[in-house]
Amino acid sequence: MIRSQLELEVRYYETDQMGIVHHSNYIRYFECGRSKLLVDLGLPIEQIEAAGIVFPVVSVNARYRQPAKMGDRLRIVSTVEKVPEGAKFPVKAEIYNQDGVLLCEGTVTLGFLDARRRIPVRCPEFIAEVFRRHEIGDE
C-alpha cells in the first residue's frame, strides 16, 4: 500500500450558492491529492509527462457525506492499494475536515497512455519500481 496526505483550505470561489463547496471541486481535490502522492514518491506529473507518458482519468466515483464550507481546512488521503502492473490503476481518496469528519470518499482510476501514439501502455517499469520502493504494510 502507498499512502499520501495533503492539507488544503477551501477557497471562496469553490463554494456555490448553496453555501457549500460545489461537488465538482472534490474531484479536483482528489487530483491535488494524487499530485501530492506522486511528489511524495519523487515522481512529479511533469516528469512523467516529460517521459512521454500521460495518464488520463478512466473513471471516477465519489460519495458525498457532509459538505465542506468556507473556512474549512481539508485533509486529502490518497491510497494506492498495490503497485500498478497493467494499463490502469485505481487510487482511493478520502477527504476529511479539520474535525476529522469524513466529507467525501471515492476512487479514481487512471490509465497509462503513450502520449504520442495515444494508445494504452502497461505501467512503465521506472514508475512501478518507484511504487515498489515506497510500499508500506497495510495499517
Residues that are catalytic: 16
- How far apart are CB 39 and a second copy at their closest, in Å? 9
- How far apart are CB 7 and a second copy at their closest, in Å? 12
Q: Which residues share a beta bridge with 96?
A: 75, 102
CA 53 to CA 41: how far, in whole Å?
A: 17
Sheet holding 113-114, edge to edge: 53-54, 113-114, 119-120
Question: Residue 123 in contact with residue 62, Cβ under 8 Å?
Answer: no
Question: Closer CB to a second copy, residue 1 or residue 75?
Answer: 75
Provide the grid cell at 25: 471541486
Which amino acid is residue 6, in one-letter code? L
Question: Closer CB to a second copy, residue 1 or residue 88?
Answer: 88
Question: Closer CB to a second copy, residue 52 or residue 135?
Answer: 52
- How far apart are CB 32 and a second copy at their closest, in Å? 6
Positions touching a second copy (CB under 8 A) are 9, 11-13, 15-20, 22-25, 27-28, 31-32, 35, 44-46, 49, 54, 56-64, 67, 69-71, 106
Question: Residue 52 in contact with residue 98, Cβ under 8 Å?
Answer: no
